[in-house]
């Protein structure tokens, strides 16, 4: 009986690492605005509004970037608050 080869741990580790890197990716402000369906001016307002709890951007060469995990967490918490308000 022939058994199927199991993937090497090196390949599996590489796949897990690439998935983690994709989750921890940094999203530029223009791409995030498109993803959220808002204009960049609205994104700037959300950043300044402390009541929203929007994640702080990181600045690189005067450009704003947001951590993917922080954005996903914010989206989830905002959806839960909105669902509870109904």
51 has a pLDDT exceeding 60: yes
What's the rounded Cα separation, in Å, for the pair 45 and 49? 6
85 has a pLDDT exceeding 70: no
Percent of the chain with pLDDT over 70: 65
Give the model's pLDDT for residue 5. 53
Domains and CATH numbers, the chain: 26-85 (1.10.1660)
Residue 67 bridge partners (DSSP): 26
What's the rounded Cα separation, in Å, for the pair 65 and 30? 9
pLDDT tens digit sequence for 9-18: 566 666 666 6
Could you tell me the pTM of the whole model? 0.66
Q: Where are the beta strands (DSSP E) in 1-86?
A: 26-28, 58-60, 63-67
Give the model's pLDDT for residue 37. 94
């Amino acid at each position: 009986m022939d058994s199927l080869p199991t993937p090497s741990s090196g390949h599996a580790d590489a796949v897990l690492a690439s998935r983690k890197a994709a989750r921890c990716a940094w999203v530029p402000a223009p791409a995030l605005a498109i993803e959220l369906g808002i204009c960049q001016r609205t994104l700037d307002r959300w950043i300044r509004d402390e009541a929203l709890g929007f994640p702080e951007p990181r600045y690189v060469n005067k450009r704003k970037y947001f951590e993917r995990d922080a954005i996903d967490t914010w989206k989830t918490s905002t959806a839960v608050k909105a669902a509870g308000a109904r």
